[in-house]
């Protein structure tokens, strides 16, 4: 289990993490969601033992972070956001070196290296120098390192960085497989689609503060459905969007736009009538105007907007 209780971290007057508490049970995947600068990496660095908290406690795999930091390192695999591996070493050489640092017996190390390298699709690159690998493959090698000791707890900071769409889907499946084998997994992301479909629970932070936590279903139930409208004009989408952003209807905000439509988040059910009246005034024909389910993108936008209005965070 990964457990944090009232964690805080200050860098001088800057409050990077503020009174943060959460748990990740064995077999669970927790998506740590927030914009850049929200405090995600700082929290993971605290849990990994790289930096001490200013206040609060934490434990991983039953080991207390402050009282048994060596024990924590033995039950934890950590993938930092910025991966830097020695470019002159070959993949297997690097993993053998890391296995030695983890005190794995040579026979166990050979088996674990083969298993994780095959699992992550880097076995065929075993003799390739790290310096010539793509960013996606370097990311895989770093994750193989994190998995070498078969730790029960995984801390993954922006693990999807550098992966192409196919690799991202494969990595999501890998996380689900690891969780099915009993691992407690905490991974951070600022990209919403990376969290959907893989996380059992979502924890949203902004400026070091917890804004909300729960499953996607919990968020949808709390925020309600039908408070998002999808607008598809016949033409002149850029003109309509420009007018909207210049003077948005009261209680309405754009949360997403594509080449042929945009989605509007409504703060209240009454804002729907305001939007309809505004659209009628624009005299731009619509291809469709439909009510949509609330998505994680919409929920996140509202949470952050509410936090900004409250003046919370750093």
Task: Give the C-alpha distances (Å, rounded to integers) separating 34 from 191, 202, 243.
Answer: 8, 10, 29
Contact at 8 Å (CB) between 64 and 101? Answer: no
- pLDDT the model gives residue 121: 84
Which pLDDT score is estimated for 9?
A: 95
Residue owning tokens 């039953």: 62
What is the Cα–Cα distance from 32 to 186, expressed in whole angstroms? 7
- Judging by beta carbons within 10 Å of its beta carbon (0-12, 13-18, 19+), is residue 259 exposed, middle or buried? exposed
Give the least confident one: 96-100, 152-156, 298-302.
298-302
Over residues 172-194, the mean pLDDT reads 88
Task: Of 149, 161, 163, 171, give the one whose Cα is nearest residue 77.
Answer: 149
Q: Lowest mean pLDDT: which of 55-59, 184-188, 300-304? A: 300-304
Q: What is the pLDDT of residues 24-63, one digit of tens each?
A: 999 999 999 887 888 899 999 999 999 999 999 999 999 9
* Residue 102 near residue 147 (C-beta atoms within 8 A): no
For range 95-113, the mean pLDDT = 92
- The CA-atom distances, in angstroms, between 23 and each of 54, 174, 184, 207 are 19, 21, 9, 20
Is the pLDDT reported for residue 305 higher than 70? no
What's the confidence (pLDDT) of residue 313?
Answer: 42
Q: What is the pLDDT of residue 140?
A: 87
Tell me the domains of the chain and their CATH numbers: 2-219 (3.40.50.300), 226-292 (3.30.70.870)
**Confidence (pLDDT) at 225:** 53
- CA dist 280 and 117 (Å) reads 58
Q: Tell me: pLDDT of 222 over 80.
A: no
Rounded to whole angstroms, how far apart are CA atoms 78 and 290? Answer: 44
Facing residues of 236 across strands? none
Rounded mean pLDDT of the chain?
87
Q: Would you state the pLDDT for residue 70?
A: 87
pLDDT at 82 over 50: yes
Distances, alpha carbon 62 to alpha carbons 8, 45, 273, 304, in Å = 20, 18, 54, 33
Both ends of the chain: CA-CA distance in Å?
29
CB 160 within 8 A of CB 188: no
pLDDT at res. 306: 65
Question: Poorest-confidence range of 24-33, 170-179, 228-237, 297-306?
Answer: 297-306
User: Would the pLDDT of 88 be above 70?
Assistant: yes
The alpha-helical segments, DSSP class H, found in the chain are 40-47, 69-74, 91-101, 106-119, 135-147, 165-180, 192-195, 216-223, 237-246, 271-282, 296-310
Query: At 291, is the pLDDT very low, low, confident or very high (cuts 50, 70, 90)?
Result: confident
Residue 216: pLDDT band by 50, 70, 90 thresholds?
confident
Question: How far is residue 303's CA from residue 213's CA, in Å, rounded to a whole number?
Answer: 11
pLDDT tier at 314 (50, 70, 90 boundaries)? very low
For position 294, what pLDDT does the model report?
Answer: 63
The helix (run of H) or strand (run of E) holding residue 257 is: strand 252-257
- Most confident range (mean pLDDT) of 48-57, 133-142, 168-177, 206-215 is 48-57
Q: How many CB atoms lie within 10 A of CB 302?
A: 21
Task: For residue 249, give the DSSP letter.
Answer: P
This model's pTM is above 0.85: no
d(CA 281, CA 173): 47
pLDDT value, residue 165 = 80
Tokens representing 129 are 């120098």
């Amino acid at each position: 289990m990964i457990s944090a209780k009232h964690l805080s971290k200050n860098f001088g007057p800057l409050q990077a993490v503020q009174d943060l508490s959460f748990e990740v049970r064995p077999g669970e995947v927790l998506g740590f969601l927030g914009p850049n600068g929200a405090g995600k990496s700082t929290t993971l660095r605290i849990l990994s033992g790289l930096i001490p908290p200013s206040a609060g406690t934490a434990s991983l795999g039953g080991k207390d972070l402050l009282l048994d930091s060596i024990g924590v390192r033995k039950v934890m695999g950590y993938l930092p956001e910025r991966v830097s591996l020695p470019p002159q070493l070959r993949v297997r050489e690097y993993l053998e070196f890391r296995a030695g640092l983890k005190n794995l017996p040579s026979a166990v190390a050979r088996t674990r290296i083969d298993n994780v390298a095959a699992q992550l699709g880097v076995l065929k690159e075993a003799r390739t120098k790290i310096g010539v690998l793509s960013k996606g493959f370097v990311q895989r090698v770093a994750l193989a390192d994190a998995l070498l000791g078969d730790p029960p707890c995984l801390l993954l900071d922006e693990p999807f960085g550098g992966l192409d769409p196919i690799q991202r889907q494969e990595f999501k499946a890998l996380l689900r497989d690891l969780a099915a084998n009993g691992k407690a997994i905490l991974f951070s992301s600022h990209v919403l689609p990376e969290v959907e479909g893989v996380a059992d629970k979502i924890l949203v932070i902004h400026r070091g503060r917890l804004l909300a936590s729960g499953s996607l279903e919990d968020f949808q139930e709390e925020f309600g459905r039908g408070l998002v409208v999808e607008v598809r004009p016949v033409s002149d989408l850029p003109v309509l969007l420009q007018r909207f952003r210049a003077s948005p209807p009261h209680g309405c905000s754009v949360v997403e736009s594509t080449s042929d439509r945009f989605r509007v988040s409504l703060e209240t059910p009454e804002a729907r009538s305001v939007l309809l009246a505004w659209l009628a005034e624009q005299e731009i024909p619509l291809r469709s105007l439909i009510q949509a389910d609330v998505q994680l993108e919409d929920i996140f936008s509202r949470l952050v907007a509410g936090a900004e209005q409250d003046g919370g965070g750093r």
